[in-house]
Structure 1
Amino acid sequence: MSIDWYEMFAFSMSPLELFIRGTVIYWFLLFAFRTFLQRDLGAVGVADILVLVLIADASQNAMAGEYKSISDGLVLICTILAWNVLFDHLCFRFPRIRRLLQPPALRLIQDGHVLRRNLRSENLTLDELMAKLREHEITDVAEVREAFMESDGVITVIPRGRDAAGGAKGNDRARAP
């Protein structure tokens, strides 16, 4: 059995077509993820991995048009990586784009009071919020000056006992994983 080196590395379709296919699917998936799967509690669960694998499998043929060579796959991978790097750079340089692509921190607790409307907007239950607070040895919402859900889904907790300048009088800023 011999290896056909030419077939392994020759393009089976135009690199421009691969670029366009990769771009269209990337933009669609970016829109879908930013719209419907904005953030979670900073954890990746089995269901999240399953969704990503299924989306990758479902979109593979649309992106690649059943490519056959390594070169086709490399062009497609580079296209997706390039868009990702470009968006990261644009988010860093331009606040308007960052606000569009990354949701702002959402206040969940203010002065010991739970903001239930904001919990509902993230489909976050009070039990889930309390579990995150307990991870940092906070058992009562009244102990919290402010808590935020960050754009990456991490819950940041600022306990009472901190002065207005942000200096710690007690515990340092606690971050829920």
Structure 2
Amino acid sequence: MSLSSFDLPSVLTFTVSPLELMLRGTLMYWFLFVVFRFVLRRDVGALGLSDFLFVVILGDAAQNGMIGSATSAIDGMVLIGTLVFWSYMLDFMSFKFTLVQRFTAAPRLCLVRNGKLLRKNMRREFITDEELNAKIRQEGVEDIASVKLMYLEADGEISVIRQDGAMA
């Protein structure tokens, strides 16, 4: 590519209305937020291979809906700015308002109480006995009977409180 064939104006001019880009970005942001918040399961402290693959494919599919026929760098900048805006606003609003925070973050879920598995809660998040036992071992606890409380936290991490009151 020679310098004479470089078309700077086509890189720096809008090919799609900025308002359309912001609307597309807003719609896709909220659609993906709802999918991730309410449809996908929280994993037990890790992102599995199928989850990672799903996120990559979802991102590729969402890109077409967001960018439409836009092709310039400035179009991409407006779209990225819109996504950053919504991400920041959700964090800010969640910090300021408890009601918004309850909407944006899943509540913690008790999986074990006094050494007993809470199977209904495990089924709700599709957590198997093997996954749960592996997580308990990772926390340095040998036996489920030693667990007073075990929670699946909003971020997918596990917290374990042993019967003796110590955090694992």
TM-score by length of 1: 0.89
CA displacement, residues 26-46 of structure 1 (integer Å, 9 cap, x when unaligned): 111111111111411121232
2:106 is the counterpart of 1:103: yes
| Two-structure CA RMSD over aligned residues (Å) | 1.2
Q: Which residue of 2 aligns with 1:7?
A: 10
Correspondence 1:1-177 to 2 at 5 A: 1=2, 2-162=5-165, 171=166, 173-174=167-168
CA contact (8 A) 1:38 1:103 kept: no
Matched residue pairs, number?
A: 165
Distance 1:21 1:4 in 2: 26
8 Å Cα contact 2:116/2:145 also seen in 1: yes
Given that residues 16 and 69 in structure 2 are in contact (C-alpha distance below 8 angstroms), is that contact kept between their aligned partners in structure 1? no
- Give the Cα separation in 1 of the matches to 2:146 and 2:64: 52
Question: Per the alignment, in what secondary structure is the counterpart of residue 150 of structure 2?
Answer: strand
- Partner SS for 1:156: strand
Higher-helix-fraction structure: 2
Aligned partners of 2:34, 2:60: CA distance in 1, in Å?
18
Among all aligned residue pairs of Structure 1 and Structure 2, give the percentage whose two residues are the same amino acid. 42
Give the TM-score, by structure 2 length. 0.93
2:80 match: secondary structure: helix
Q: What is the distance in 1 between the residues matched to 2:77 and 2:51?
A: 26
CA distance in 1, matches of 2:149, 2:94: 26
* Divergent runs of 4+, >3 A: none
Structure 2 gaps of 5+ residues are: none
> Deviations for 1:42-77, whole angstroms, at most 9, x for unmatched residues?
212322221112111111121111211000001101
Gaps of 5+ in 1: 163-170
Aligned AA (1:133): I
